[in-house]
A and B are shown apart, each in its own frame.
Chain A
Amino acid sequence: MIHGLQKLASLKITPVAMLALGAGVFVSYRSGDPAAVWVMAPLSVLVVNLLCAILVTPRFRRDAGLLMFHICLLAVVTLAAYGYLGQFRGRVEVAVGQQVEPDMITAVARGVLHDGDALHRLTFVQETFRVEYTQGLFRTRTLSRVRLAGGDERAFGDNVPLALRGYRFYTSSNKGYSALVRWAGATGGQAVGVVNFPSYPMHDWNQVSSWTAPDGSALNLALQLGDKPPQDKAWVLDSSTQRHAQLLIDIDGQRIRLREGDAVPVSDGVLTFLETRMWMGYTVYFFPMLNWLLAFSLVGVLALGWFYLRRFGVLQKRPLIGGRSAIRAGRHVDSLVR
Chain B
Amino acid sequence: MPWVVGGLLCYAAGIAYAVADTVADRPGSRKVVIATVCGAVLLGVAIAERWLRSANGPFYTLFEILLSSLFSLGLMSAVLYWVAPLTRIGAVVTLPVLFMLGLWALNVPSETSPQPATYESVWLWIHVGVGKVFLGVLLVAVGVAGSLLLARTSVLRNVRVASQDALYELSWRLVAVAFVFHSLMLIAGAVWAQDAWGRFWAWDPLETWTLITWLAIGAGLHLRLAYGLSRDYGCAYILGVFVLAFLTFFGVPFSSIAAHKGIL
Contacts and interface: CB of A to CB of B under 8 A. Distances in A.
A337 B180 CA distance: 19
A288 interface: no
Contacts of B190: 294, 297
A330 B163 contact: yes
Given A305-B180, A312-B173, A327 B195 contact: no
B162 to A, nearest CB: 6
B142 to A, nearest CB: 16
B227 A159 contact: no
Nearest to B173: A312
Contact of B222 (A18, A25, A338): A18
A165 interface: no
B176 interface: yes
A324 B211 CA distance: 37
Nearest to A301: B183
B233 interface: no
A55 interface: no
Contacts of A12: 226-227
Given A138-B264, A140-B114, A321-B84, A15 B219 contact: yes
Contacts of A203: none
B108 interface: no
Interface residues on A, range: 35 or more
Interface string B183-221: 110010011001111111001010010011001101110
Contacts of B88: 327
A337 B215 contact: no
A159 B195 contact: yes
Nearest to A12: B226
A22 B162 CA distance: 36
A320 interface: yes
A301 B188 CA distance: 12
Contacts of B180: 301, 304-305, 308
B208 A29 contact: yes
Q: Is the interface of B mostly helix, strand, loop or mixed?
A: helix
Contacts of A335: 166
A334 B162 contact: yes
Contacts of B121: 159
A327 B86 contact: yes
Contacts of B158: 330
A337 B223 contact: no
Contacts of B120: 158-159
A205 interface: no
B177 interface: yes
A142 interface: yes
Contacts of A136: 114
A330 B114 contact: no
A10 B222 CA distance: 11
Contacts of B162: 331, 333-334
Contacts of A6: none
Contacts of A337: 166, 169-170, 173
A163 B153 CA distance: 61
Contact of B166 (A19, A157, A301, A333): A333
B222 to A, nearest CB: 4
B27 A34 contact: no
A168 to B, nearest CB: 7
A29 B205 CA distance: 8
Interface string A296-335: 0110110011001000100000001111101110110111
A34 B203 contact: yes
A298 B187 contact: yes
B67 to A, nearest CB: 21
Nearest to B161: A334
B160 A326 contact: no
A211 B225 CA distance: 66
A338 B86 CA distance: 15
Given A11-B226, A15-B227, A326-B86, 17 more contacts: A11-B222, A15-B220, A21-B215, A26-B208, A29-B205, A29-B208, A136-B114, A139-B117, A158-B117, A159-B117, A283-B198, A301-B184, A327-B27, A327-B88, A331-B162, A331-B163, A335-B166
15 contacts: A11-B225, A11-B226, A12-B227, A14-B219, A22-B212, A25-B208, A25-B211, A89-B199, A159-B118, A173-B264, A322-B170, A330-B158, A331-B162, A334-B165, A337-B173
Interface of B: 27-28, 84-88, 114, 116-118, 120-121, 158, 160, 162-163, 165-167, 169-170, 173, 176-177, 179-180, 183-184, 187, 190-191, 194-200, 203, 205, 208, 211-212, 215-216, 218-220, 222-223, 225-227, 263-264
